[in-house]
Copies of this chain bind each other. A is one copy, B any other.
Amino acid sequence: MKIKATVLSLLTVSVLAASSSSIANEPVQPISPVKDINLAEVELGKKLFFDPRLSKSGFISCNSCHNLSMGGTDNLKTSIGHKWQQGPINSPTVLNSSLNIAQFWDGRAADLKEQAGGPIANPGEMASTHTLALDVLQSIPAYTTEFKQVFGSREINIDQVTQAIAEFEKTLVTPNSRFDQWLLGNKDAINKTELAGYNLFKKVGCTACHNGQALGGGSFQKMGLVKPYKTANKAEGLSGVTGKDADRFKFKVPTLRNVEMTYPYFHDGEAATLTEAVDVMGQLQLGKKLTGTENAQIVAFLKTLTGEQPSFTLPILPPSVDQTPKPKPFD
């Protein structure tokens, strides 16, 4: 029994060693577990992420458009904002967003912390102001106590609010997808069609942009590299940030992690299905018309990228008090 166990663990080691060297040669890497997390900030940030009182209406929270029950998206072409305004762009998933080189489709926020302040004060999204949002939080004793505990002060500022939300968002990685299990050496984790899809995905050049842990999020690329992309959507991407004409229609390459859950696709949400998205990408970015079989193989591969979804208890929010500024949904 003891000998068997030793043999087994030697085998395991050699399999892991082999797979670890083969992983290094792959353009896609397994998602690393979360490290160096401030748990108190995470718990506070989770509440803030779910708190609609950060919006003017008292109805819209971060989770409204980055719904953690639905792959960290709203599964709409473009989002619904304050007073049902139609958003200009598709809500990117918050899952694995800590792996992005920058935030928003046009990269206008350097990191999650900078991103988190945006929608709160955007008139088309949560339509509040940082001042009002802070007044709301500051009025609620349970919040001031928790901020004191986490940040050492009862005076809440926007820096703390966005820091806590960002720390929570850092926990929203989705490890252990079937594809990651395969990368880590479990060769039965994906089937032949899915493996064929992965090999094709590499061969035709998808991994030029969709690589790394997140299969995306690492660069800005022109939408319509080989053939122009036609859309009624007015977003122009990176050029709005850099001011360079050469950056027009360059958008951050989206992650393909959990892509089965994050429909519809592209910055304008115009591709309703993975089949359509793969077809358009093939033609416009790679100049390649994939056959039905090839397309289906890649789609099968993409569906192996669904990882373990964030699992946590729904936060209970501390109630407002008499002095808390009231939501104004219909003003």
Copies in the complex: 2
Q: Does A27 contact B (CB under 8 A)?
A: no
Q: Is the CB of A58 within 8 A of B84?
A: no
Stretch at the interface among A222-230, A247-255, A314-322: A314-322
CA distance A83 to B81 in the complex (A): 10
Residues of A within 8 Å of B, CB-based: how many? 43
Q: How far is the CA of A76 from the CA of B322 in the complex (A)?
A: 14
Please state if A69 and B319 are interface contacts (CB–CB under 8 Å). Answer: no
Q: Which residues A292-315 have CB closer than 8 A to chain B?
A: 309-315
B312 with A76: CB separation less than 8 A: no
A313 near B312 (CB under 8 angstroms)?
A: yes
CA distance A220 to B325 in the complex (A): 32
Contact assessment for A309 and B316 in the assembled complex, using a CB-CB cutoff below 8 Å: yes
Smallest CB separation, A206 vs chain B (Å): 20
A329 sits at the interface (CB 8 A): yes
Does chain B have a CB within 8 A of A182?
no
Taking a contact as CB atoms under 8 Å apart, the answer to whether B309 and A312 are in contact is: no
**A84 and B83 in contact, given A272-B322, A314-B68 (Cβ under 8 angstroms):** yes
Q: Are A69 and B320 in contact (CB under 8 A)?
A: no
User: In the complex the two chains form, is A75's CB within 8 Å of B313's CB?
Assistant: no
Task: Please state if B58 and A319 are interface contacts (CB–CB under 8 Å).
Answer: no
Residues of B with C-beta under 8 A to A86: 329-330
Q: How far is the CA of A51 from the CA of B70 in the complex (A)?
A: 9
Residues of the B chain whose Cβ atoms lie less than 8 Å from the Cβ of A274: 322
Question: Does A261 sit within 8 A of B, measured CB to CB?
Answer: yes
Can you name 8 A-B pairs with beta carbons within 8 Å? Answer: A50-B69, A53-B75, A68-B314, A70-B319, A84-B329, A86-B330, A263-B319, A273-B322
Q: Please report A residues at the B interface, Cβ cutoff 8 Å.
A: 50-53, 57-59, 64, 67-71, 74-76, 80, 83-84, 86, 260-261, 263, 272-275, 309-317, 319-320, 322, 326-327, 329-330
* Given A260-B319, A272-B326, 16 more pairs with CB closer than 8 A: A51-B69, A52-B70, A57-B80, A58-B74, A58-B75, A59-B64, A69-B314, A75-B327, A76-B327, A83-B84, A273-B322, A311-B313, A312-B314, A313-B313, A313-B314, A314-B314
